[in-house]
Chain A
């Protein structure tokens, strides 16, 4: 009996060592423990003592380092939680990383004020700042990643050249002030730049499916951190204004011209740093957020469809409505991407996956309604930059949603693996990039920069 409990203790200890590895999850540990016990039983029937059987069985499973490495090769998505490596306490590296992030955050914050040197403030000459705002901030994030990843020359070129081209295009094009093409370029440029940041983030492995998936995950987590920081920053701005107002000083100018723009620019880099450091913390939030918002947005989409069915032709009633519909569709597409990137591909089908099929179907119906309305407007009033841009976004979304829906349906109904759903997302990313680039570079000259 003593020997038996001794064996149990030792198996328990071994299980403890395994559990501490991020790459091994509880069901892996359970599977390995079952294996160890089978092995021990097999050896004992051949006349070995408990001690000998345990040692041989543990030896056969192999060193835990090597075991984790084998698992890591298959389950690289789990290593997302611990990029730094299994058991390394990353204190010194972390501090260096933080100093680097802080330096780039300060640079980004300072860069936002550069237009002021030329007498272009946020209140005056707003449109020059508006179309440059991505260029003032995101290159610092890209360079931060280039430095952190010790990028090769090829990667540096792949990141720097598009940024330079974008900078030249946006500032050399003779945009009519506050014209439609300028606004469209200003809206689409951050998308282009963000995906260029992705090249830097992946350290040049941007053709790789897993690296793209990591970047999609990163994007979702970054957004969550950025919103958290923005909430805190908004509170800070409000209290600052209120406190100084109470003693008779107006600091609104400082808050609007310095605190908010510089703070937001710095937060872009700091949020990225936080994602890298605190991955496992946020990982627990991502599935919760998607589970909360997916039902809500599914309900919203169904309500929109119902409203469209009741009112009939209400899509004719104006472009504001179409813009709102497009915003909803973009949020849904982002939510979908975020849920897919946060999903464990090994997990079996749940109610949530079925709900997603419904959400995709509803989004597709809304998308088709918008497409019909846009085509109708183009037929009636002729093509404009705005209408073409909307048409393009909706087509890009429609194809993306249809692909996702198709693979998701195969996954849910025909019990196919989840892999193709992920692959479709990562394969489709360049389409977003291409379309955003077309809107920035091609549409303005075609429509005479107005």
Chain B
């Protein structure tokens, strides 16, 4: 199963904020983590992630700093800010409303569909 493009795009921000809530991280590791969390079904293109991180930085949700990898390569590390934490809490609220609504409609959905049909 492949997740649709719009859904991937919509879930990108809360996923990235949520991963950074666990601690500072960098692009490649964030992608690995998303793949692991979704059993590889959330196909997040590499080229999409960095502009997203830059946008979150512009909004003040994350801060970046150049660090070094164990191999000594330059690596840009991203860290969640206070604003980012607040944004994540807000996103969580919104997403739980959406997922509750979906669960409710799918539990009562077939009956409803029959009733109308």
A419 touches B59 (CB 8 A): yes
- Point out the residues of chain B lying under 8 angstroms from A87, CB to CB: none
| Shortest Cβ distance from A24 into B: residue | B50
B interface size (C-beta, 8 A): 26
Q: Does A8 contact B (CB under 8 A)?
A: no
Q: What distance in Å separates the Cβ of B74 from its nearest Cβ neighbour in chain A?
A: 6
Chain A residue numbers with a CB within 8 Å of B2 are none
B50 touches A416 (CB 8 A): no
Supposing A34-B74, A419-B59 touch, asked if A75 and B51 sit within 8 A by C-beta, the answer is: yes
Interface residue stretch chosen among A66-74, A88-96, A128-136, A295-303? A66-74
The interface residues of chain A lying within 8 Å CB-to-CB of B50 are 28, 31-32, 35, 70-71
Per the 8 Å Cβ criterion, residues 28-56 of B in contact with A are 28-29, 32, 45-48, 50-52, 54-55
> Is A417 an interface residue, CB under 8 A from the partner?
yes
A416 touches B54 (CB 8 A): no
- Report the contact-size class of chain A (Cβ under 8 Å from the partner): 20 to 34
Note all chain A residues with C-beta closer than 8 A to B45. Answer: 60, 62
In chain B, positions 2-33 with a C-beta closer than 8 Å to chain A are 26-29, 32
**Closest CB-CB distance, B85 to chain A, in whole Å?**
15
Most B C-beta atoms less than 10 A away, residue of A30, A60, A74, A346:
A74
Interface residue A345 (Cβ < 8 Å from any Cβ of B): yes
Query: What's the Cα separation between A75 and B58 when bound, in Å?
Result: 10
Q: In the complex the two chains form, what is the Cα distance from A71 to B47 in whole Å?
A: 8
CB-defined contacts of B46 to chain A, threshold 8 Å: 35, 39, 60-62
- Interface membership of A52, Cβ < 8 A: no
Q: Which residues of B contact A27 (CB under 8 A)?
A: 66, 76
| C-alpha gap A418/B51 in the complex (Å) | 17
Asked if A148 is an interface residue, CB under 8 A from chain B, the answer is: no
Residue A387, interface by CB 8 Å: no
Q: Is B60 in contact with A417, judged by CB distance below 8 angstroms?
A: yes
For the complex formed, measure the closest distance between the CB of B106 and the CB atoms of chain A, giving whole angstroms. 33
Contact B51 A346 (CB under 8 A): no
A-B contact pairs, 7 of them (CB 8 A): A30-B74, A34-B73, A34-B75, A38-B69, A39-B28, A62-B45, A416-B60
Residue ranges of A at the interface with B (Cβ–Cβ < 8 Å): 27-28, 30-32, 34-35, 37-39, 41-42, 60-62, 66-67, 70-71, 73-75, 345-346, 415-419
Residues of B participating in the A interface, judged by any CB pair closer than 8 Å:
26-29, 32, 45-48, 50-52, 54-55, 57-60, 63, 66, 69, 71, 73-76
Given A38-B28, A38-B69, A60-B46, 14 new contacts (CB under 8 A): A28-B50, A30-B76, A31-B27, A31-B50, A35-B28, A39-B28, A41-B71, A42-B28, A42-B32, A61-B47, A74-B52, A75-B51, A419-B59, A419-B60
